[in-house]
Structure 1
Amino acid sequence: MERYAEPGTVEWVESGGGPLVAVPETVLPFWTGADGEETESDYDRACEVDGLVGLLPVGDAAALVLGDEPAATAFLPEHSVLVRWIAGHAEEDLLASVPAALATAQWQQETRWKVPGPVVLFDAAWPGTHAAGTDHARLALAPGPYSLRAAQVSPGPETWLVLVELRPLS
């Protein structure tokens, strides 16, 4: 993936081929990744999520699984949205298309996610205790309930992305 925007504009997180997961920091030690001792690892459970997003129980919280395909993902706090880069030539163009994509998105069914505080976005195959040593991003979410909704959007002829909106509920 080529980058044309200013370095540090956004922080992209990529996986080794499987889903990405956003796990609350309070329960990171409980995410076992592909190393689980049980018959089905947390990574296996994440791979079974059908659709663009899903929630999996982890400790006394839930992790957000970004399903469908392994796409570079960035959090844009000004829009409260995760942007998944499916196709596009330039980062700058893709990021510039986000406001129009948000306005025209046909959202899937809304899901509620109770967040105990900041979450860490990383490759679902890694154990949570190793997330900081991998390709990851910390999302400084305030504690509380969030409305999640996702959409596949094509804001241009050669640009495709998935949007995952995280709206705090009052």
Structure 2
Amino acid sequence: MAAESAEATVAAAPRALQLAEWEEELVWEMTCRATHPFDDHWTTEESAAEGRLRLDLPAGRHPVRAAFVEPDPETTLVLVRLFERADAGRRP
């Protein structure tokens, strides 16, 4: 991901979603509840300290899709869509 600022990233998001060509669906299989930092550049401690978005995922199968998008010449984003699935939250 690259952008001039956090504000530029947020401003580019609507255009990025319009341009996104989503890859084939993959499945994250979680054997136990897990909390993942949304931005893997930061450690868990840094993520919490910086107020970064984190996801609290229950055990189960979580379908995801990703897209690499360049909404403008200064911004490059990797978008990840996480879908709710009926078996999320159940033990495998």
1:141 corresponds in structure 2 to 57
Structure 1: which 5+ residue stretches go unaligned? 1-85, 125-130
**TM, length-normalised to structure 1:** 0.38
**2:5, 2:40 → 1: CA distance?**
23
Determine whether 1:90 maps to 2:1: no
Compared CA separation, residues 153 and 117, structure 1 to 2 (3 A): same
Higher relative contact order (Cα pairs below 8 Å, separated by 6+ residues): 2
Contact map agreement 1:113 1:145 (CA 8 A) in 2 = yes
Compared CA separation, residues 97 and 142, structure 1 to 2 (3 A): farther
**2:84, 2:69 → 1: CA distance?**
22
Structure 2: which 5+ residue stretches go unaligned? 49-53, 87-92
Please report how far the alpha carbon of residue 111 of structure 1 lies from its aligned counterpart in structure 2 after TM superposition: 0.5
Compared CA separation, residues 99 and 169, structure 1 to 2 (3 A): farther
Determine whether 1:151 maps to 2:67: yes
Please report how far the alpha carbon of residue 123 of structure 1 lies from its aligned counterpart in structure 2 after TM superposition: 5.9
| Same amino acid, percent of matched pairs | 37
**TM, length-normalised to structure 2:** 0.63
Q: 1:106 aligns with which of 14, 21, 30?
A: 21
Compared CA separation, residues 119 and 151, structure 1 to 2 (3 A): same
Aligned residues: 78
